[in-house]
Amino acid sequence: MTSTPSRKPALAILGKRNLELGPFARDTQQEPGPWAHWRMRTDEDGIVWLLFDKKDTSANTLSEQVLAELNDVLGKLERDVPRGVVIRSVKPSGFIAGADITQFRGVTDSAELEMLLSRGHAVLDRLDRLPTVTVAVIHGYCLGGGLELALACDYRIAVDDASFGFPEVLLGLHPGLGGTVRLPRLINPVAAMTMMLTGRTERTRRARRLRLVDAVMQERHVRAAVRAAVDGDLRRGKQDFVGALLNLRPTRRLLARRMVSEAAKRAPRAHYPAPYALIDLWVEHGGDADAMQQAEIASFAKLLVGDTAQNLVRVFFLRENLKKLAGGDWPGRRVHIVGAGTMGGDIAAWCAWQGLVVTLADTNRNAIGGAIKRAAELYGKIGRDDRRRVRDALDRLIPDLRGDGATNADLVIEAVPENLDLKRKIFAAVEPRMKSGAILATNTSSIPLEALRENLARPQRFVGIHFFNPVSRLQLVEVVSHDRAAPDVLADACAFLGCIDRLPAPVKSAPGFLVNRALTPYLLEALVMLDAGVKKEAIDKAARDFGMPMGPIELADEVGLDVCLHVADTLRGSLHRDMPEAPQWLRDKVAKGELGKKTGKGLYDWEDGRAVKSHEDVAPPADATDRLILPMLDACVTCLREGVVADEAVLDGAMIFATGFAPFRGGPLHYARKRGIAEVRGALERLAAQYGPRFTPDPGWDGLS
């Protein structure tokens, strides 16, 4: 699976890499070979360095052509066997990012795919059997097929910045080039299965403890480590007695029950078959490498041609599309946040974690203190293996009671409550203190920017940057434009989000923008159903059965009932179409301060950050899923018709990465097309006839037919 590493590590790797590969100009000779992606060099010790440099790309990935060339290289090495072979990437960003995902799109013929996979297996098997010592030297990322190639080598030497993982499960797949065979034979099989089932990435030290790599060192010691491996002086990691015991068939069967149970908590079998296919492979064939290999090929091919994998591959490219919208480098380094509440404090914490200097302003000293405390707790979770980074991030997060940070900031983000007059008051106070080239942004979730920009001296430098809660987990951020915003300001806002590892979704100023516009009908319909006596657990179950990460009742509590009510009222007053009014009991809850998770009580009671739910098995009404999901789809079509969002790719990506819209369905509009535009329209018309005009389909459906 490909990935885009951050710029700073790439530059650091480049500097260190040149220390190691630079000597080739002096003490190696390049041997001729008709290869576009591989270069072969022999050093003064008679060791061949096989250098992978995929042509015209910034990252190495495995493709059919790359593997065909590697097969040709291996044939040459078999004819003229060297003392040893080292495989290295010359890309600054890392070793190999996995398979070339573009080759996965639109695959429908599983038999043809099995033949291609068999050829790939034959190449890695040939590497595995090469009659000399083979060493993979790994820096940066080593993922998916890249890790499978490394596992086919005798030794793996990691430079101290490397990371390892099998992210195929995120594409609805499992490893397909021998990883399911080689990894459980090398390390503890439970750890191996956990890596493959979760897609979790392991850093170098953890990989060394797992025996996944044989040595971890700084770049300047790589040559010495390679010579030690070739001479047999480097100890190889191998599976211990406990690992071998865990690979026995009775033990595999016992462990598989727990694995299935854990997988079911995160990925229902009906929606995500890959984890269960992997578990079945290991249980049935874990003791027979040849049988496991053949079964892996067939299983991978079957998964890849299925709807889940094809939709998740689509989601991968939706993410890449949003990444590209971030554009180039953001020139700024300082951010000033006004408002230390949940959103403002968490935005500040995330920006500081990503390397920016952040001043956090609020008139309430306790609010700033609470935000700093939350930041420390977040850093303790996500940076538990990197104490220096935690310390440095906290140093960059600066309390600012007087708001002086606005004068030096490259970007000022207002994140106070959704009150038009309050926000205007903030802008009037902060804009005169800002640098002329700085950007002023609002984190409003629903107020049109045309109303907010009144009285600004530089409205062209004003933009919406709308984060979602929780900031540290939800990658998508809406970049909201208005008709007086300068294009370079919008571009810089997108680049800022790329700098902090977030996905920008450009949208136009409109009530609720895109995400809240689409989410509000979903949440309101859930409240209407609750008001009519449908149990909240049944409503949430209907949404989860569709594939949503949580139900709308629980989501409303997560977001905050006060926020939901404000957005609903704002949209209801702004949109010229039927929308149910929030029930009075919801207003009463908000008035009493029962706001959901943040107060411990809302539609659910909350304990230790979790909703307290009835364990009663409840069945949702037959039409509950359509009542919840179709209004969301209809609002998406409205946004597309009105030009709030430019195209279906941005819309689908935004809804997936902001709301968790069932990823295996490929996005709201992709789902609608798959189900059938006419059928979705007909279902909306039937709901309108039964429940009222709020379900009347938008005219934009006609343009999608």
The SS3 call for residue 174 is coil
Q: Which helix (H) or strand (E) holds 41?
A: strand 38-42
From CA 277, how far away is CA 182, in angstroms rounded? Answer: 17
356, exposed or middle or buried, with CB in 10 Å at 0-12, 13-18, 19+?
Answer: buried
Residues 6+ apart with CB under 8 A from 455: 424, 427, 428
- Asked whether the beta carbons of 705 and 678 are under 8 A apart, the reply is yes
Q: Give how far the C-alpha of residue 187 lies from the chain's centroid of Cα atoms, to the nearest Å.
A: 27
| Terminal-residue alpha carbon distance, the chain | 34
Catalytic residue status for 414: no
668 in helix, strand or coil?
helix
Q: d(Cα 704, Cα 678) in Å, to the nearest integer?
A: 9
The residue annotated as part of the active site, out of 148, 202, 558, 648, is 148
* Separation of CA 268 from chain center: 19
**Structural element, H or E, at residue 430:** helix 420-430
Specify which residues 96 forms β-bridges with: 142
User: Going by DSSP bridges, is the β-strand pair 94-96/141-143 parallel, antiparallel, or unpaired?
Assistant: parallel
State the catalytic residue, choosing from 20, 69, 168, 478.
168
Buried b (16+ CB within 10 A) or exposed e, 309-343: bbbbbbbbebbeebbebbbeebebebbbbbbbbbb
168 catalytic, yes or no? yes
CA dihedral 258, 259, 264, 268 (to 10 degrees): -150
Taking residue 116's Cβ as centre, other Cβ atoms within 10 Å add up to 17
Strand partners, 611: 606
Helix ranges restricted to H, 174-288: 179-186, 189-198, 204-209, 222-230, 241-246, 249-266, 274-285
Dist CA 197 CA 273 (whole Å)? 11
Say how far apart CA 450 and CA 463 lie, in whole Å: 10
The residues pairing with 135 across neighbouring beta strands, listed in sequence order, are: 86, 155
Report the SS3 class of residue 377. helix
Structure tokens at 439: 């950007």
Q: For residue 310, which amino acid is it?
A: Q
What tokens were used for 363?
């008139």
Phi, psi of 132 (to 5 degrees): -160, 170
Three-class secondary structure of residue 530 per DSSP = helix
Q: Within 10 Å of residue 359's Cβ, how many Cβ atoms?
A: 25
CA 691/CA 695 separation, integer angstroms: 8
Which three-class secondary structure state does DSSP give residue 466?
strand
> In this structure, are residues 586 and 704 in contact, taking their beta carbons and an 8 Å threshold?
no
List the catalytic residues.
148, 168
